[in-house]
Amino acid sequence: MRIATWNVNSITARLPRLLAWLESSGTDVLCIQETKTTAEQFPTEELRELGYESAVNATGRWNGVAVVSRVGLEDIVRGLPGDPGYEGVEEPRAVSATCGPVRVWSVYVPNGREVDHPHYAYKLQWFEALKAAVAGDAAGSRPFAVMGDYNVAPTDDDVFDRTVFEGSTHVTEPERAALTALRGTGLTDVVPRPLKYDHPFTYWDYRQLGFPKNRGMRIDLVYGNTPFTKAVTDSYVDREERKGKGASDHAPVVVDLDV
């Protein structure tokens, strides 16, 4: 079974590449982030023609997540129970579903903006809600993973130059402590293996030749419970999909399972 996560940075802009990638990659389940569309505008029919069902949590031009599956789609939960909301609004940042033998969450963690910004406090509160929401499945016997754009680089090795991010979000100790607490529910970071690159980044800014210079970050993560990680046979970042005209600024992270 092949599952993946991908921040597409607008599913409307990326649809031709997304459909072609699903066909060529043989992916069974894809967790999508930053759809930037409404649920009504989500390309459900185009995906159905390829054999995929869709579970969508999206409300407009910002945020938005989905799970698409060709191996079944059951027990869908849209939104994060206990979501703290931002400025009184619950943003569409999480959706979960059971896909065949595996249950997954597709998550788009708040960016945080700046350390002294209210959005940063919201980010940490959102992590607490996520931890509470996934704890039961994380400790269970069914293969389970929380996949998506976490907007946190777990270690200094996960950014191209730590000094560039001094005083910025994505690398602060409270954010990394939130990741540690999430893993404490029984989850493990499924690091790409074998490592096909010295630094398996997943995001490169469009500006300043970020991708050609490999000025990237590893912020798209797959956190799996013990039954999930034991089933992993391979994982990798599909850097090829970051290349060329019309690419997202994120690359898909792919995980193969023997389940």
**What amino acid positions are annotated as catalytic residues?**
108, 149, 250
Strand extents, DSSP E, the chain: 2-7, 29-33, 53-57, 65-69, 74-78, 94-99, 102-108, 144-149, 188-189, 203-204, 216-217, 220-224, 232-237, 253-257
Q: Is 111 annotated among the ligand-binding residues?
A: no
Report the distance separating Cα 250 and Cα 238, nearest Å.
10
3-class secondary-structure state, position 55:
strand
Q: Is 7 annotated among the ligand-binding residues?
A: yes
Report the distance separating Cα 20 and Cα 46, nearest Å.
11
Q: Is 9 annotated among the ligand-binding residues?
A: no
Looking only at the bridges linking them, the beta strands covering 53-57 and 2-7 are unpaired
Q: Is 137 annotated among the ligand-binding residues?
A: no
Report the distance separating Cα 211 and Cα 198, nearest Å.
15
Query: Environment class of residue 80 by beta-carbon count within 10 Å: exposed (0-12), middle (13-18) or buried (19+)?
Result: buried
- Per the annotation, binding residues are 7, 34, 149, 151, 249-250
Q: Residue ranges for the binding site for Mg(2+)? A: 7, 34, 149, 151, 249-250
